[in-house]
Amino acid sequence: MELKRVVVTGLGAVTPLGNNVPDTWANIIKGVSAAQPITHFDASKFKTQFACEVKNFDPSQYFDRKEARKLDIYTQYAMVAAKEAISDCGIDLETADKDEIGVIMAAGIGGILTFEQEVGYYYANQDKGPKFNPFFIPKMIADMAAGQISIMYGFRGPNYSTTSACASSNNALIDAYNCIRLGQASMMLAGGSEAAITPAGVGGFNAMTALSTRNDDMEHASRPFSKSRDGFVIGEGGGCLVLEELEHALARGAKIYCELAGGGLSADAYHMTASHPEGLGAILAMRRALKDAKMQPEDIDYINVHGTSTPVGDISEVKAIETVFGEHAYKLNISSTKSMTGHLLGAAGAIEAIFSVLAIADNIVPPTINHAEGDEDPEIDYRLNFTFNQAQKREVNAALSNTFGFGGHNASAIFKKFVK
């Protein structure tokens, strides 16, 4: 069976740096930090009092009041990102075969805010007996973003959510890619969303010492690959890519950003939360992605790394890159855009895939911000080009995007310039 080729024809995003793709990308290239004091709740007693929140997001601009009350904010982010991606891809929904269009939208956690609010109300009012909102379960569950997008447009193709912690939306992209190339759909909306800047989200990550506590210097708190890094900065938002079978895209005259060339998955099989110290799972995921894409390490120009700014994780990813790419590792550009957006958890892979696509389209590599001279980690080889502090113009023919999640889940996706 000959596998079909898959191209990217639409992009949509809601992020801490912009509520659409152009605004987000402009701020990424400028090297803007989205970290600010938490406004979603009173964080004054928390170890971490800042985050990368989505800003100026008004649900009433996208949903009527009755509809918005049925949707957790993570679902709203996903639906708004999907709407932008559909508009960007230029498909005529009046004539499209909606049986051939599917949706896979990931969430690492899902509707945690809805869960907190409903369960909190129950325990505060136990004397009145059990009383829950009838929309509690459908608002909360992690598959609902995918379901609501399909309902919004009438898409009847494959429809589900992937959940693999911070690898979730890269898993969604790879699954959607496989659906298309196996002939199960002509077009897929794929990505992820997350909205976990809540008391439980921040408090839980604080309890496991995963978050930066640099409250006095929050804009510079996320500093991947620097010696003084002390944890990730939590972010939120949603990202959606339109993936399309090549001949279907050509037949309708679609704008093609690039080709999704391959994906690789693996498990660390090591620890609940820590990555393998030698990056063994990451090595497997990247090698499998290269094999799937029928590409060599030398074909890759840019890696959008997982790069969360955690002490152990950054080192293990560097080791994995050095193992997979050998001498070519020193010719690559590497950057962690989490230094600007924060860590969007289950939405990270989608947002970072968009950045990888645009790096190819615009021939520019976004920076890793917040690195200062003298803050070098002796365990990291700085002959590698981490694209510190300033975007770099270069020909980007192929980009690899890494995401690694709690539980040892690893997913790598490769995008390349489209050549007919």
Tokens of 402: 């890494």
Which residue is catalytic, options 220, 248, 276, 343? Answer: 343
What number of other Cβ atoms are within 10 A of residue 83's Cβ? 17
Active site residue 328: no
What number of other Cβ atoms are within 10 A of residue 67's Cβ? 14
Q: How far apart are CA 205 and CA 211, in angstroms?
A: 6
Q: State whether residue 359 is helix, strand or coil.
A: helix
For the chain, the straight-line distance linking the first and the last C-alpha, in angstroms and rounded, comes to: 20
Active site residue 220: no
Q: How far apart are CA 158 and CA 186, in angstroms?
A: 11
Which residue is catalytic, options 166, 179, 240, 258? Answer: 166
What number of other Cβ atoms are within 10 A of residue 219's Cβ? 16
Question: Are 369 and 17 within 8 A, CB to CB?
Answer: no
Q: How far apart are CA 351 and CA 191, in angstroms?
A: 8
Question: Are 111 and 72 within 8 A, CB to CB?
Answer: yes
Q: How far apart are CA 247 and CA 5, in angstroms?
A: 8
What number of other Cβ atoms are within 10 A of residue 131's Cβ? 10
Beta strands in 274-341 (DSSP E): 302-304, 333-335
AA letter at 66: K
* Residue among 86, 157, 104, 169 nearest 353 (CA): 169
Output the CA torsion 146→148→154→158 (10° steps): 20
- In this structure, what are the phi and psi dihedrals at residue 398, rounded to the nearest 5 degrees? -150, 140
What does the chain come to in residues?
A: 420
Tokens of 227: 């010696």
Residue located via tokens 């975007």: 391
Q: State whether residue 321 is helix, strand or coil.
A: helix
Active site residue 89: no
Which residue is catalytic, options 220, 248, 276, 306? Answer: 306
User: Active-site positions?
Assistant: 166, 306, 343
